[in-house]
Amino acid sequence: MKIAVLVNEGPYQHQASDSAYHFVAAALDAGHEVSRVFFYHDGVNNGSRLTTPPQDDRHIQKRWSALAEEKSVDLVLCVAACQRRGLVDEGERERNGKDASNIAEGFRISGLGQLLEAGIEADRLVTFGD
């Protein structure tokens, strides 16, 4: 089965990101294809490379980055949601005159068209968070 995932909540405000991560990992281990994970609204905060949780806490951003690298999962952050929350990649940094980028490895910024495409091409679109 081909699955697309939508994550609407940030990494430490809600269980949605943890649940989405575990769902994606389990789906991949079961032999399903996860075509894309799209992060929207506060969910884009999962892609910040500046996240530094306490040592005794889980590091959700690193989990997502490792999954992207190991399993070639496409992790897409909504560009409009990123702009509202101060998340920029190199292209957005240059375009907006910022002095640094802060997107973690394995993530990329793109538009809502990526979510629509994933939903159309997948057998199921699974949403985590409000």
Provide the total of helices (H) and of strands (E) in the chain, helices listed first.
5, 5
CA-atom Rg of the chain in angstroms: 14
Q: What is the DSSP letter of 93?
A: H
Q: Where are the alpha helices (DSSP H) in the chain?
A: 16-29, 60-71, 79-85, 90-96, 113-121
Q: Is 78 a catalytic residue?
A: yes
- Which one of 20, 78, 87, 125 is the catalytic residue? 78
Residues acting as catalytic residues: 78
